[in-house]
Amino acid sequence: MNYPLEDLKVLDFSRVLAGPFAGRMLSDLGADVVKIEPPDGDITRYWGREIANIPGYFHQQNAGKRNICLDLRAEGAADLVKRMVQEADILIENYRPDVMGRLGIGYEDLKAVNEKLIMLSISGFGHNGPESGRATYAPVIHAEAGLIHRNTQRNEVVLHDMPLSVADTNASLHGLVGILAALHMRERTGKGQHIDIAMIDATIATDDQLSFDLEDANHTRSLPNEIWETPIGPVLLSTDFRVLFRGLTTVHGLEDPATPNMGLEEKIAIRRAAVDKFMHTLDTREKFVEAMKAMNIAWGDVRDPSTVREQPTIASRGSVVDIDDRAGGTRPIIQSPYRFSEARSGVKGPAAHRGEHNREILQAWLKLSDEEVAQLMESDAVVAFDPDWRHH
């Protein structure tokens, strides 16, 4: 049972989430992923619970990767990157579109030393467009792509961002698809290529509701799912109210309290009150489950995310696992979702400290002598390993 991508080498120059997530998934699929971290570190090293000098957010997106710390502005850094690129299959970066080129390590520079290189660039608005230079994080794309407006319009709430970084993870996953497609094409052509992923493209490409807005057809979409308070807690029913009410009257014998002379709004209000009353008669989980099953209605507990490990399927499939916390204990981490019949996948270990594998990577990737490694370690390009650098 082998990892699908265990023969691949990846250089991950990306930071925060769009990019690091793709690198984490490549690592979970077996690739040797080396994170190239700048001297001031990935900003996510300041986010989340800190254990053994590694905060939780950084740990989640960078577990299983090795780490070398380079000052890309220092003399000799670009040459060192090019030497590493000669050994690499894939490179991931999510700087603004002009940054890698200004550092002397843009795609054309790297292609010259390794024409088989597959380079993934993720940016907010893509390369060579009218807004390619804009600074962008996921909330900016949520706003520009219409997600924030739609959430407010449909739910009648004040304008606010979503509680997860959809634009980042969508771009990262589409980038991963692009990488795998480019790898397949490289088998035929022998050549790599540059993949330009714009977060705004990835967001609207995965927006299943956008067609309603583009065609002014929101009146044709299904009624929204609703959350009902019940004795077993708040529950989302994945159906519209009309289907629910029809099921309750035909399957469970609920009497329709509306009369023909009532107006529509009054009918809806009195029927909703009857449904709410029925829901409160389902005072055990068994009763609730059987009632929904009889009507073939899909439902879900509205779960506090801090208890997600107790969700039966998540618990059964090991979707959250405990790994070494580097402090004598363990810490939880979200497992990659891939389940193969003839291959392995999954997080390979905890996240690294900044620059922790400087010497190891220089020796393993570049086959350098001890003297050559020592010279590089003394240069300004390679920044010394220090697990406690943030607290100095």
Give the pLDDT confidence score for residue 223 in this predicted structure: 83
Residue 155: burial class (beta carbons within 10 Å; 0-12, 13-18, 19+): exposed
Shared domain for 161 and 50, answered yes or no, is yes
Shared domain for 283 and 376, answered yes or no, is no
**CA 289 distance to own-chain centroid:** 32
The answer to whether position 150 is within a domain reads: yes
Shared domain for 170 and 226, answered yes or no, is no
Shared domain for 248 and 360, answered yes or no, is no
Shared domain for 234 and 374, answered yes or no, is no
Domains identified in the chain, total number = 2
In whole angstroms, what is the distance from residue 226 CA to residue 300 CA? 11
Shared domain for 89 and 152, answered yes or no, is yes
The answer to whether position 255 is within a domain reads: yes
Alpha helical stretches, state H, 50-165: 56-62, 77-85, 99-102, 107-111, 138-144, 147-155
- Give the CATH number for residue 284: 3.30.1540
The answer to whether position 271 is within a domain reads: yes
**CA 72 distance to own-chain centroid:** 26
Shared domain for 289 and 339, answered yes or no, is no
Q: Which residue has the tokens 């809806």?
A: 268
Give the pLDDT confidence score for residue 1 in this predicted structure: 62
The answer to whether position 340 is within a domain reads: yes
Shared domain for 26 and 149, answered yes or no, is yes
- Give the CATH number for residue 335: 3.40.50.10540
Last residue of a domain, one of 242, 275, 306: 306
Shared domain for 133 and 44, answered yes or no, is yes
Shared domain for 244 and 130, answered yes or no, is no
Shared domain for 253 and 384, answered yes or no, is no
Average pLDDT of each block of 10 consecutive residues along the chain (392 residues)?
93 97 98 97 96 97 98 97 98 96 97 98 96 94 96 92 96 98 98 98 96 94 91 96 96 96 95 97 97 97 96 97 97 96 96 97 94 94 94 84
The answer to whether position 311 is within a domain reads: no
Give the pLDDT confidence score for residue 222 in this predicted structure: 84
Under a CB-based contact definition with an 8 Å cutoff, are residues 351 and 27 in contact?
A: no
Look at residues 231, 191, 167 and name the one whose alpha carbon lies nearest to residue 89: 191
Give the pLDDT confidence score for residue 144 in this predicted structure: 97
Question: Range of 104's domain?
Answer: 9-209+317-391
Look at residues 70, 201, 178, 12 and name the one whose alpha carbon lies nearest to residue 123: 201
Give the pLDDT confidence score for residue 14 in this predicted structure: 98
Shared domain for 167 and 196, answered yes or no, is yes
Whether this model's pTM surpasses 0.75:
yes
The answer to whether position 172 is within a domain reads: yes
